[in-house]
Structure 1
Amino acid sequence: MQVTTEYSHFHNKTRLDQNKGTTAAICVQNLSRWTEAIEEICTWPEYKPQPLRSLPLQAEQLGIGKLFFKDESKRFGASLGSFKALGAPYAVFKILAEEVFSKAGVRPTSEDLRTGKFRDITQKVTVCVATDGNQGRGLAYGAKTFGCRCVDYIHNHVSPGRAEMMKDLGAIVIRVAGEYEASVERAKADARMNGWHFVSSTSWSNFDNNIPRNVMNAYMVIVEEALQAIPVVENITHVFVCGGVGSIAAAVFLGFFTRLSQIKQSNQGRVLIPPRFIVVEPKEADCLFQSAKTGEICLSEGSLRTLMAGLACRGPSPAAWKILTWLASDFVAVPDDVAVAGMRQLAGVVSCPDHLTPVE
């Protein structure tokens, strides 16, 4: 496996620091209802556990025991194609359930919303988001499934093809001049003006807003499926997750850390060393790496022009950052050719099924 070594690395020497844990405690507490999210999503008729793939040849090349990757490419169908298909639809379900309760005084089930039982209420609700594509498709899917309107805001660098995919799922798509942050500000402004719901995984406080909390709780489905597929959870040594604003990494790391802590307690306090949790992001959009290096939230000074478009974020989610600075052991920023090499590796694996094995 031949890839460039031109990457930046920061090791978090104060990982699991007690003071950082105290700072993160409110965020962790607000993400404690992930079991509820998992149980709800597992009742959806289109739900199907997504595979954890084993890469034995790549593991041998790297000189390690086992290497796995979580394949989210078919989550709720190929048209969605990422883990974002979990968070946004679940957030839409929770938003509409609250709208129905506030107006009709009943708690609807997801099936009630799917079948249009409260269409007179839900069709008046609009959800919106700023997106590079994946979150927008997930939100449009959730809106279409549960019966409300969706508006996706995209920026200059989002391809026409991605915009069409969102429209195909029923979204109204508005292109905004500038970078991702410009589309965020426009979406938030329009949401305030029109009384819409801005659905984002970014929280500007301690997840006091239910929406990012619900988005991140839904991401815990990924952790649960992975842990069920790994025979000996205690043998996990490293967990790599993509960066962006930090929400998916914070959710996955917290999920692994919590479950391993539960295993430790069930084994009469036997010491279990947490895996190394590593955040990986593009060099041109390295807000988490830069924040780790400086010791406080800061913005990336990169161009944000990267093939890893879904990770092209200028700054971290403050609430997710509190969890990451406590749990993450390493932050790595890589150039695009690392992503290209990875895609080529996986393309070769997929074309030769013997090289790729689902974990039963």
Structure 2
Amino acid sequence: MLFVNPRASRCPYPADLKEVMSVGSAHESRDWLSSWEHLSQDATPLWELPGIAAELGVARFWVKDESTRSPLASFKALGAPIALIRLILRLMPLESFDPKGLITGRYRERLRDFTVISATDGNHGRALAAAAQSVGCKCVIVLHANVSAEREAAIAAYGARIIRIEGNYDESVEHTAKVAQQNGWPVVSDTSYEGYEIVPRDVMQGYGTIAAELIEQTTGDTAAPCPFTHVFLQGGVGGMAAGISSYLWEIYQDQRPAFVMVEPRQADCLYQSAIQGRPAKATGSVDSVMAGLACGETSPLAWRFLEPSIDFFLTIADHEAVTAMRKLAQGSANDIPIVAGESGVAGLAAVQILVRDSEAARKIGLNSDSRILIISTEGATAPTVYESLVGESDEAVIDRQRQWQKRKHL
């Protein structure tokens, strides 16, 4: 279902929001992480898919492919590490740590007794565990019942201690808060709640790197008009969407692109927030094949940015995401095959739904002049799940991707 947000604004980027998240702080975060061994030194690919654009009846269609961001295979590698660095700098100001020195392990002996904790659906916890291992501190990760054993193993591989609970993601967040209080461990979460906003802000700020790369890969000039008319963003608790939309809003001001939020139907907390005009809970079971988006409660901090910037909210079914995964993996003579995970394809699934509904397409302004961006936030973070849904392994898709690139360069 599509909801048109009556509170969306086309005004210049508000000063009160800029005090919380800004392009300047995003650039600083990008610089601090530039030396981390688990991050690629190159920008992630921005693939243009003319074949899909033609099928959709739009002018241009791009996919920002975050699967190559790091060995972690997810955009989360930009959030958790910078939040951990900033947390340590705040808690230990007299140590005079160098931010780049922290992420390269220069102070590991001084931090070996320091412990952080977080709940996760998978990708955030994996990124935090990897960052803690690099910094030299301990990490505890709380997993809920729906996190696969494959994702648990990927987190544990970075030395994290795992705590399993029954229940869903939101219950794991509550359990994390209790364990943290009992042990005096700071929480490094990507969702905010009452009295807890600084760390989630830092996580969101890290995602500005994606937006900075998008401009560098298209116009290369922040003074040029926005290359995109529509940007489709995944839901979850709202952190990634807030980080990217705030960056593009600050750069393009009242000429920003239209932002479209996409969520699983059974994890519709942002959709419900838009309807109610306040941070709200999901109305469904929350359990979704789109594991990274299976969140039941909106981050209040993220909502401060999303309420005035997201123009449209849309929910999709699990099977529509799976169809989109297969579409990107398949590729064509004109379109490179792409490995995109269950949560990474939400944007494409949404566009495919909209173009089949002429009234919805009219409301959102989709037409032959539209220039659409989606962000594939993850690759095959659970390879077994990916293969079962797509019908072939991520290695097979990557092999066809290489073959496609060779043919194009002949």
Q: Please report the TM-score for the alignment, with normalisation by the length of structure 1.
A: 0.86
Task: Indicate whether 1:186 and 2:186 are aligned.
Answer: no
Task: Indicate whether 1:211 and 2:203 are aligned.
Answer: no
Q: Distance in 1 between matches of 2:215 and 2:19?
A: 22
Task: Indicate whether 1:201 and 2:190 are aligned.
Answer: yes
1:56/1:110 CA distance change after superposition, 3 Å:
same
Task: Indicate whether 1:160 and 2:149 are aligned.
Answer: yes
8 Å Cα contact 1:227/1:233 also seen in 2: no
CA deviation vs aligned residue, 1:8-32 (integer Å, no higher than 9, x gap): 11011331177x986xx53431112
The aligned residue for residue 15 of structure 1 is 8
Q: Distance in 1 between matches of 2:80 and 2:325?
A: 26
Secondary structure of 1:235's aligned partner: coil
1:342 counterpart (324, 335, 338): 324
1:234 counterpart (226, 230, 250): 226
Task: Indicate whether 1:313 and 2:295 are aligned.
Answer: yes
8 Å Cα contact 2:286/2:296 also seen in 1: yes
Post-superposition offset of 1:208? 6.9
Higher mean alpha-carbon deviation, 45-54 vs 239-248, is at 45-54
Secondary structure of 1:299's aligned partner: coil
The aligned residue for residue 253 of structure 1 is 245
8 Å Cα contact 2:85/2:102 also seen in 1: no
Secondary structure of 2:118's aligned partner: strand
CA deviation vs aligned residue, 1:141-164 (integer Å, no higher than 9, x gap): 100111111111001111111111
The aligned residue for residue 287 of structure 1 is 269
Secondary structure of 2:255's aligned partner: coil
Post-superposition offset of 1:190? 1.0
Secondary structure of 1:278's aligned partner: strand
Post-superposition offset of 1:202? 1.6
Given residue 229 of structure 1, which amino acid in structure 2 is its aligned partner? Q
Given residue 127 of structure 1, which amino acid in structure 2 is its aligned partner? V
1:72/1:233 CA distance change after superposition, 3 Å:
farther
CA deviation vs aligned residue, 1:340-360 (integer Å, no higher than 9, x gap): 011001111224548789xxx
The aligned residue for residue 66 of structure 1 is 60
CA deviation vs aligned residue, 1:270-289 (integer Å, no higher than 9, x gap): xx632110000000000001
Q: Distance in 2 between matches of 1:218 and 1:294?
A: 29
CA deviation vs aligned residue, 1:56-109 (integer Å, no higher than 9, x gap): 1000111111111111112221xx11111110011112223344433x3x2324
1:27/1:121 CA distance change after superposition, 3 Å:
farther
The aligned residue for residue 96 of structure 1 is 88
Which residues of structure 2 form unaligned runs of 5+? Answer: 332-336, 338-396
1:289/1:113 CA distance change after superposition, 3 Å:
closer
Given residue 184 of structure 1, which amino acid in structure 2 is its aligned partner? V
The aligned residue for residue 114 of structure 1 is 104
The aligned residue for residue 75 of structure 1 is 69
Given residue 73 of structure 1, which amino acid in structure 2 is its aligned partner? S
8 Å Cα contact 1:55/1:356 also seen in 2: no
Secondary structure of 2:261's aligned partner: strand
Given residue 29 of structure 2, which amino acid in structure 1 is its aligned partner? A
Given residue 178 of structure 1, which amino acid in structure 2 is its aligned partner? G
CA deviation vs aligned residue, 1:199-254 (integer Å, no higher than 9, x gap): 1122235x974311211111100100111111365231000010001111111111
1:225/1:235 CA distance change after superposition, 3 Å:
closer
8 Å Cα contact 2:272/2:281 also seen in 1: yes
Higher mean alpha-carbon deviation, 273-282 vs 91-100, is at 91-100
Which residues of structure 1 form unaligned runs of 5+? Answer: 1-7, 262-271
Task: Indicate whether 1:53 and 2:47 are aligned.
Answer: yes
How many residues are aligned here?
331
Higher mean alpha-carbon deviation, 278-287 vs 107-116, is at 107-116
Post-superposition offset of 1:113? 5.2
Given residue 169 of structure 1, which amino acid in structure 2 is its aligned partner? Y
The aligned residue for residue 381 of structure 2 is none
Post-superposition offset of 1:260? 1.3
- Give percent identity, aligned residues only: 35
Secondary structure of 2:19's aligned partner: helix
1:66/1:21 CA distance change after superposition, 3 Å:
closer
Given residue 292 of structure 2, which amino acid in structure 1 is its aligned partner? G
8 Å Cα contact 1:114/1:145 also seen in 2: yes
2:163 counterpart (174, 198, 214): 174
The aligned residue for residue 127 of structure 1 is 116
